[in-house]
Amino acid sequence: MLIDCRRNALGYRTAFALRASRIARAIRLVERRSGGGLRAALRAALCTVVLGAALQANAADMTAISAPCQGCHGEQGHSVIANIPSLAGQPEFFIMNQLFLMREGVRRVEPMKALVAGLSDDDLQALAKYFSSVPPKPSDEVIDPELAKRGAALANRARCASCHLPSLAGQEQMPRLAGQRIDYLRHALTDLRDSQRPGADSNMIAAIGAASDADIDALAHYAASVFAATH
Ligand code: HEC
Ligand code: HEC
């Protein structure tokens, strides 16, 4: 996965540092053992091997590790509970970034606090990889077509697609909105507008800054109505 460190300073810096520190540790270890002086190409190959090995080791523990998550976020991350987001099909980096922000106490999600505190960097990475790989499904809530139409016009004016993509499937640190639960979208947009999500992307806060509650409702119905699988 390519990481562009220029965007979303906080999110990218934290997640990138997390990844880079693990790789740096592994490289230092091998350099010590081999008497130092590894060439650049060898370093690059090593990074790939180290990351690959970590992910494979974690895949085996996935069922145990993701079971408590599925208790709230639904089977394979397809939420059926009000105000709890679906995780299936979210971009890998978005999930990892949010979990990292939660574990470090920046984004505060009380019901998850104790759970994320005990997770290692490798656990976060494995969970992100797992939930991002599950094909997303649309929410089963009733979508109001009139609201969705009004939301589409608002989204067009606010250029939501420039970050979340025209399919609203999300990318990098920007979440999937397509198919997400309407109640959660409404809740998340209200929190973002009212600066109630510490550590959130400032461009996102600016994008929703002027929206009324009625606008947010329309945007939520629109976003939930757009569904395009990325996997
Ligand atoms: C007790 C219920 C509960 C459990 C268990 C739980 N979560 Fe959550 N999670 C939530 C709630 C509620 C939110 C929404 C927080 C908010 O309102 O901003 C959330 C949000 C998230 C988000 C942010 C998603 C987004 O779209 O903003 C991620 C990622 C996440 N959880 C991953 C996990 C993972 C991985 C696990 C297992 C290690 C887990 N959760 C376990 C309740 C839970
Ligand atoms: C400049 C890029 C950008 C634009 C424009 C933008 N967003 Fe976002 N959006 C983001 C990022 C980044 C996040 C992740 C927030 C965080 O850091 O917690 C986000 C988060 C969200 C969330 C929270 C979803 C979740 O799962 O937690 C919703 C809902 C959302 N955006 C909807 C919108 C809508 C609707 C618009 C247009 C009115 C919009 N966004 C415009 C970048 C953007």
| All domains in the chain, ordered by first residue | 9-133 (1.10.760.10), 145-225 (1.10.760.10)
Does residue 203 have its Cβ closer than 6 Å to ligand 2?
A: yes
pLDDT in tens, 190-202: 999 999 999 999 9
Beta strands in the chain (DSSP E): none
pLDDT, mean of residues 72-96: 97
Radius of gyration of the chain (CA): 19
pLDDT in tens, 130-156: 999 999 999 999 999 999 999 999 999
143 phi and psi angles, rounded to 5 deg: -95, 130
pLDDT, mean of residues 9-22: 45
Does residue 87 have its Cβ closer than 6 Å to ligand 1?
A: yes
Q: Please identify, by atom number, the ligand 1 atom nearest to the C-alpha of residue 184.
A: 17
Decide: 109 and 72 in contact? Cβ < 8 Å.
Answer: no
Rounded to two decimals, the pTM is: 0.82
Q: Which ligand is nearest to the CA of 174?
A: 2
Rounded Cα distance, 205 and 214, in Å: 17
